[in-house]
Amino acid sequence: MRKVDAGPSPAGPSPTDTLRHLAVALLLCACGGGREPSVELVGLEGVEAALAARKGKGILLNVWAIWCPPCVAELPDLVEVAGEFAGRGGTLLGVSYDLMIEGARREEVPGQVRAFLARKRLAFDVLVYDALDLDAINARFSLPGEIPVTLALDREGRIVDRQEGPGDRARFTEMMRRALGE
């Protein structure tokens, strides 16, 4: 049987409702809720610069694409974990391979990624990888070539854990703890 909400009680919101609203507000703030995620075209140098700008934070670096069902399926868990650890210095950075498929157009892909993030209500920064081939980024991060892949980088930028293939909330939590040195 579905509970019908008759509206607020004359005594005001219950303590449970107040805590629930506070938790949602805190999670939205921690995840950058309300702000437009940054989506930009970059080469390997741009990925390196974005990581350098986040030095001092624990980073989950997720390599994904909107056309990859396992990638899309794990994104909500990644965003939630990043939000939970934001206050302790945890962050999520995406590297999109959406430009790497035949027919993808440089001028369209960033907008497609932005629209996807908005539609799914996912707030995290994404670097759309823009290079002639994947060899440089695959070599730099020892990537297998298949996605999704998530790397955990510690506060100094060292890779301390990796998940090749889809992960889940528990796995991403474990990875973020390693990235933060917990």
What tens digit of pLDDT does each residue of 117-161 get? 999 999 999 999 997 778 899 999 999 889 999 999 999 999 999
Query: Considering the chain, what is the average pLDDT of its residues?
Result: 84
Which homologous superfamily is 47-180 in? Glutaredoxin (3.40.30.10)
Mean pLDDT score, 36-53: 94
Neighbours of 116 (CB within 10 A): 19
Q: Residues 107, 112, 118, 123: what is their CA dihedral angle, to the nearest 10 degrees?
A: -70
166 has pLDDT over 90: yes
Residue boundaries of the structural domains of the chain? 47-180
Could you tell me which residues are beta bridge partners of residue 96?
64, 128
Q: What is the pLDDT of residue 3?
A: 30
Q: Identify the residue with better confidence: 119 or 28.
A: 119
